Amino acid sequence: MKQSNRDETVVGGHAVTDKKKMEKIFARIDLENPPPICPIRDVLAKALDKWSMLIILMLGYNDTLRFGDLKKKIKGISPKMLSISLKHLEQDGFLVRTVFPEVPLRVEYHLTDQGKSFCNKILDLSEWINDHFPEIVKRRYKVDEIM
Amino acid sequence: MKQSNRDETVVGGHAVTDKKKMEKIFARIDLENPPPICPIRDVLAKALDKWSMLIILMLGYNDTLRFGDLKKKIKGISPKMLSISLKHLEQDGFLVRTVFPEVPLRVEYHLTDQGKSFCNKILDLSEWINDHFPEIVKRRYKVDEIM
DNA sequence: CCGTATCCCGGAAGATACTG
DNA sequence: CAGTATCTTCCGGGATACGG
């Protein structure tokens, strides 16, 4: 592991916040401008919004799903939001929409390689939350008691 | 590209999303209920919202920052939103707020170990976006041409 | 069945003034 | 300096009805 010109904190054997990585990211994130103008923040905003993460995980888990399947599996989502989210994810290359001109119409969605790759990232993140959220929730109650 | 220590394959050869991992997560994510009731979705919503990611990255990069520093560095954030975001992140144990009762008042923020750990996750995600967003943006233009 | 078109509302978030 | 209080604006997102 490379040593930066700055002392690195260590958590669980992992070097935290490798400065090189950080600089690479900060060089690209446009802090001056919000999502529509800063591409990175824009991509992230769309891929991590209220429903998109769930959709990606769902397609990662089930491989191929129809519009109605997704609607049924993701409780509470409206057809409008599902449609919009799917469109965003398709535009950014996370999934593919395939139409079968049958009667009745059939449309299938599945992740692209990029989508699968991203799905793994999200899965890692979810796993992290899963591993830490007991303490987080416990902490919340403690904070509530104090306040 | 970095190889994970997990039994997951990568893009190109593309095995998807380790089923075991998936099942572990899906067992915990409460698909019936939205964020305030499903703890995982709630934690994620707060930690990945419009400003929080930036704040965490900023503190991962700079170690310790004062309120005003954060406000200056994160262009466009209002004192109100900064305050709210910081409070959320403190409540969930991502950062620590330290008050120095001087005149004028000084308040410092820095990440907890949990926050640093999470920061690395976010950094990975940002790195992923950084590596892929050229093709994503390119794709968007192509899609625009067609539509 | 797969969405789109509308209408509508509540909450997220900006601007600004103010206080300990 | 470090926020809070307030007001307003805006739009994400829900419900629903309809069209291809």
DSSP-derived secondary structure for B37-101: TSHHHHHHHHHSSTTHHHHHHHHHHHSEEEHHHHHHHSTT--HHHHHHHHHHHHHTTSEEEEEE-
pLDDT exceeds 60 at position A14 = no
Looking at the fold, whether B49 and B21 belong to one and the same domain comes out as no
Write down the pLDDT at residue A8: 46
Q: Which residues contact A78 (CB under 8 A, 6 or more apart)?
A: none
C1' nearest to CA of A106: which nucleotide?
C1
Question: Are B29 and B52 contained in the same domain?
Answer: no
- Does residue B2 register a pLDDT over 60? no
Contact check, Cβ <8 Å, B39/A133: yes
Q: Is residue A130 pLDDT above 70, yes or no?
A: yes
Rounded to an integer, the average pLDDT of B30-40 is 82
Owning domain of residue B128: 38-146
- Chain-chain contact of B16 with A137 (C-beta, under 8 angstroms): no
From the list B25, B31, B126, the residue facing A126 with the nearest CB is: B25
| A50-73 pLDDT per residue, tens | 999 999 999 999 999 999 999 999
pLDDT at B47: 94
Q: Is residue B14's pLDDT more than 80?
A: no
B40 within 8 A of B29, measured Cβ to Cβ: yes
Q: How far apart are CA A76 and CA B99, in angstroms?
A: 42
Least confident of A1-15, A36-50, B86-100: A1-15
The predicted structure's pLDDT at residue B51: 95
Q: Count other C-beta atoms under 10 Å from residue B66's C-beta.
A: 15
Q: Is the pLDDT of residue B121 over 90?
A: yes
Location of structure tokens 């529509």: A36
Q: How far apart are CA A106 and CA A67, in angstroms?
A: 9
* Distance in angstroms (rounded) separating the CA atoms of residues B116 and A16: 6
Give the pLDDT of residue B119. Answer: 95
Q: Given a cut of 70, is residue B80 above it in pLDDT?
A: yes
Average pLDDT over chain B, rounded to an integer: 85
Query: How far away is chain A from the Cα of B53, in angstroms, using its nearest Cα?
Result: 10
Number of domains in chain A: 2
Question: Residue B58 pLDDT > 80, yes or no?
Answer: yes
B92 and B78 inside one domain: yes
- Same domain, residue pair A27 and A46: no
- Residue scoring higher pLDDT (A35 or B129): B129
Same domain, B77 and B99: yes
State whether A42 and A27 are in the same domain. Answer: no
* Cβ < 7 Å from nucleic strand C: A 34, 66-68, 79-80, 83-84, 86-87, 97, 104-107; B 49-50, 76-81, 104-105
B53 — pLDDT class (breaks 50, 70, 90): very high
Do B28 and B64 belong together in one domain? no
In chain B, the percentage of residues whose pLDDT exceeds 70 is 85
Nearest to B62 by CA among B102, B7, B119, B16: B119
Same domain, B64 and B100: yes
Rounded to the nearest integer, the mean pLDDT of chain A is 85
pLDDT for position A101: 93
- Asked if the model's pLDDT at residue B7 lies above 60, the reply is no
CATH number of the domain that residue A53 is part of: 1.10.10.10
Q: Bigger pLDDT: A17 or B11?
A: A17
Predicted pLDDT of residue B143: 66
Q: Do A125 and B126 touch (CB under 8 A)?
A: no
User: Which DSSP string corresponds to A53-83?
Assistant: HHHHHHHHHHSEEEHHHHHHHSTT--HHHHH
Residues in B touching A36 (Cβ below 8 Å): none
Region of poorest pLDDT, from A62-71, B13-22, B75-84, B136-145: B13-22
Residues A29 and A93 reside in one and the same domain: no
Q: Taking the C-alpha atoms of A56, B91, A132 and B61 in order, what is their torsion angle to the nearest 10 degrees?
A: 80
What's the confidence (pLDDT) of residue A66?
A: 98
Q: Do A90 and A110 fall into the same domain? A: yes
Looking at the fold, whether B75 and B96 belong to one and the same domain comes out as: yes
The percentage of residues in chain A with a pLDDT greater than 70, rounded to a whole number, is 85
- Residue among A50, A85, A76, A49 at smallest CA distance from B32: A76
Which of A117-121, B37-41, B88-92, B107-111 is predicted with the least confidence, judged by mean pLDDT?
B37-41
In chain B, the percentage of residues whose pLDDT exceeds 90 is: 61
Same domain, yes or no, for A43 and A76?
Answer: yes
Sort out which chain A residues have CB atoms less than 8 A from B136's CB and list them. Answer: 39, 43, 92-93, 114
